[in-house]
Amino acid sequence: MAAVTFPAVSGSWSKANMSAAAWKRHIIRQLKHRDRTQKYMYQDLIKSYNKLLERTKIFDPLNERLQVEFLNIFSDHLNSRLDVTSTVHRLEDPETLQLQHQKEVTKLEKTNGELAVQIYELGQNLQIKQKELEELQSRLKGVEGFFSGVVKRNVELHESVKKITCENTNIKQRYDELLKQHRTKEEELQKITNDLSEATAGIVKLKSLQADDMNNDNDRECQARWAKQLASAAAKVIDTTPKTVQCNEDTANTDEAPAVIRRAFRSASATFLSPIFTLKENILYKMRRVESLCDDFKGPSFVCWSSRLPTKALEIVEAHESDINAAKFSSISQTLATGGDDRIIKLWDVVAGRLESRTSLQRSSSGITSIEFDPTGYRILAASYEGAVHLWEVNACRPTYVLTGHRHKVTAAKFKSLYHQAVTGSFDRTLKIWDLNRGACTDTIQVSSYCSDVVSLEFLVISGHHDKKIRFWDCRTKVCTNEIPVEGRVTSLNVTCDHSQLLSCSRDDTLKVVDLRKMNCCRQTFRADGFKCGSDITKAIFSPDGSFVTAGSADGTLFVWNVKTGKLEASLAGQHNSCVNAVTWSTSGEYVVSVDRGKKAVLWSDY
């Protein structure tokens, strides 16, 4: 059988740029041409050759045995004549050679077909790679353009960075200069402030010395004037004595002599006593003036020597038509004042362990938040929700003054040590000091939080706030001199009669006692199981002798602690059904009154 060749096919591969579709068509045409020229011509020969191969396979075992025998017989001969026998053995029969040749041809054809397929695939891959290469080249051009733009932008940014760096350096230099100037100015300001403080202290000291000198001069002048008046009066007495003796005898024997003598004596006595009376009146006037000034600083005239521990409810009354917010005993009697959301202040007298209604004050336009008696017991200061404070005479039907100026509800109003002055605290974050003689505000202190209660000493105002702080204010300079932090919002403040201890109640369910004589340090803290501060207006109070503190709880229980021992002395429950807002202790120490949100007032005592 002749070897199969592909001359046309091999010629077709020389066209490297032929498209894939044309190349496929060319291969198909060549294969069809080969079938027409070679397959049909050798069809019979191929069939005969196949039959011959089938027959040859039958003789393969016999041929193998013969070859083995032949090799055994001629092994010696083959060894002696290696060159000849090797040549002879290499010569095989024509059929074997033909089979081998056919196998090699078949193998070559197969290899040729595989190579043709590989060439085709490689051509396809080559075209794909060429397209990808073209795409990559186009992308490369775009990337190179973008990169050139980025490089240009980078150069511009570097220049901008250099420029900004220079500007920042200049700004930093200016900032350092300004900072240096600022520090210099601060040092100058601090120096000026220190100098001003020293100058102020010097001026205050100088004024104090001048006042002392002036007082001493006034005293010396008064003493000199009194001595002069006494000497003048004594001299006048001495001068009148000879005049009474110089009467002649004639006149002495007449009836007119006694009259003359009597007139002379009257004149002398009048002349003598007149400066004495004038001096006495001046002294009495000055004493009354000093007493009136001292009256502005002294406390109530009634002193409680021992307070009784309340153990029993003597009477329960429905005192108002709505919530009761405040209650206060008079400082000179057993008169009680209560006020609440019904805009009425009611006065009660405690008679034989009972509350007897006395009168009502009904000129407030909104609910009452705080009540305070002045030390004389004849005036009442009441704060209200409308931002106003009312000053009543106890026996009057309408308020003497209505103090307006707060922008929010007034939570506390207290008399100062000078009874013609008052201090108020409000939710508008201000404290105001009022002149009650004129009904005008004299000073306003700005604070940083809602004010819940205030107390006033001679030159000091103490305020409790919602930011959990107690603040101390100097009324003369309106400066906060001290702050005491607590754990909850402050609801009330109260001081002892000797102004040595301060009691605060806060929403962390504790009562604290602050010693005002020892740098305002917290001395005691009172707690109890079941005690809960029920609202932002819950009031706690000292007993008149300062031996007990009492406050009402949210569940209506009244708690009493011993200040000396710090222990809970009494827990009075069962009379109030709602939160106790305020508690007040009579000045005699005999009675305690508690008021609640349920319109009730309960009178307590120890019998």
Kindly report the CATH number assigned to the domain that includes residue 453. 2.130.10.10
Tokens of 233: 């009066």
In a domain, 135, yes or no: no
Do residues 456 and 575 share a domain? yes
For residue 342, what are the domain limits? 312-605
Other CB atoms within a 10 A radius of the CB of residue 426 amount to 26
Q: Which helix (H) or strand (E) segment is 398 a member of? A: none
How does residue 45 score in pLDDT terms, banded at 50, 70 and 90? confident
Please name the residue that has the structure tokens 């819940």.
452
Q: What is the helix, strand, coil percentage profile of the chain, to 5? A: 45, 25, 30
When mean pLDDT is compared across 81-90, 288-297, 511-520, the lowest value belongs to 288-297
Mean pLDDT of the chain: 79
How does residue 17 score in pLDDT terms, banded at 50, 70 and 90? low
Look at the chain and report how many structural domains it folds into.
2
pLDDT at 488: 93
Q: Is the pLDDT of residue 208 over 90?
A: no
**Rounded CA separation 449/234 (Å):** 68
- Tens-place pLDDT, residues 164-173: 999 999 999 9
Do residues 282 and 316 share a domain? no
Nearest to 602 by CA among 336, 405, 250: 336
**Rounded CA separation 219/212 (Å):** 10
Integer angstrom CA distances of residue 601 from 308, 324, 541, 561, 593: 19, 8, 16, 21, 7
How does residue 209 score in pLDDT terms, banded at 50, 70 and 90? confident
Mean pLDDT over 139-151 rounds to: 89
Do residues 284 and 370 share a domain? no
In a domain, 90, yes or no: no
Tokens of 372: 């305070």
When mean pLDDT is compared across 267-276, 452-461, 534-543, 555-564, the lowest value belongs to 267-276
pLDDT at 498: 86
Tokens of 73: 């017989």
Q: Is the pLDDT of residue 304 over 80?
A: no
Other CB atoms within a 10 A radius of the CB of residue 364 amount to 22
Q: Which of 295, 327, 352 is the last residue of a domain?
A: 295
Mean pLDDT over 190-196 rounds to: 86
In a domain, 601, yes or no: yes
pLDDT at 554: 94
Do residues 416 and 544 share a domain? yes
| More reliable by pLDDT, 439 or 347 | 347
In a domain, 271, yes or no: yes
pLDDT at 54: 74
When mean pLDDT is compared across 52-66, 254-268, 284-298, 580-594, the lowest value belongs to 254-268
Q: Which of 261, 295, 329 is the last residue of a domain?
A: 295
How does residue 543 score in pLDDT terms, banded at 50, 70 and 90? very high
Nearest to 590 by CA among 308, 349, 315: 308
pLDDT at 170: 92
Do residues 409 and 467 share a domain? yes
Mean pLDDT over 259-275 rounds to: 36
pLDDT at 82: 54
Nearest to 388 by CA among 421, 359, 428, 416: 428
In a domain, 161, yes or no: no
Q: Is the pLDDT of residue 448 over 80?
A: yes
Mean pLDDT over 326-343 rounds to: 91
Do residues 404 and 543 share a domain? yes
- Tens-place pLDDT, residues 364-406: 778 999 999 988 888 999 999 988 999 988 887 677 788 998 9
Q: Is the pLDDT of residue 7 over 90?
A: no
Do residues 531 and 426 share a domain? yes
This model's pTM is above 0.95: no
Do residues 271 and 384 share a domain? no
In a domain, 2, yes or no: no
Q: Is the pLDDT of residue 298 over 50?
A: no
pLDDT at 165: 92
578-607 burial code (b ≥16 CB/10 A, e <16): bbbbbbbbbbbbbbbbbbbbebbbbbbbee
**Rounded CA separation 8/29 (Å):** 10
Helix (H, G, I), strand (E, B) or coil at 439: coil
Integer angstrom CA distances of residue 480 from 261, 448, 474, 500: 74, 11, 7, 19
Mean pLDDT over 306-332 rounds to: 91
Mean pLDDT over 329-354 rounds to: 91
| More reliable by pLDDT, 92 or 256 | 92
pLDDT at 211: 64
Q: Is the pLDDT of residue 12 over 70?
A: no
In a domain, 140, yes or no: no
When mean pLDDT is compared across 424-428, 456-460, 490-494, 510-514, the lowest value belongs to 456-460
| More reliable by pLDDT, 378 or 64 | 378
Do residues 370 and 401 share a domain? yes
CA dihedral sign of residues 170, 172, 174, 176: negative
Mean pLDDT over 151-157 rounds to: 92
pLDDT at 19: 66
Q: Which range has the top average pLDDT, 22-36, 215-229, 334-348?
A: 334-348
Do residues 285 and 415 share a domain? no
In a domain, 363, yes or no: yes
Do residues 288 and 319 share a domain? no
Other CB atoms within a 10 A radius of the CB of residue 506 amount to 23
Share of the chain above pLDDT 90, in %: 40
pLDDT at 295: 42
Do residues 419 and 469 share a domain? yes
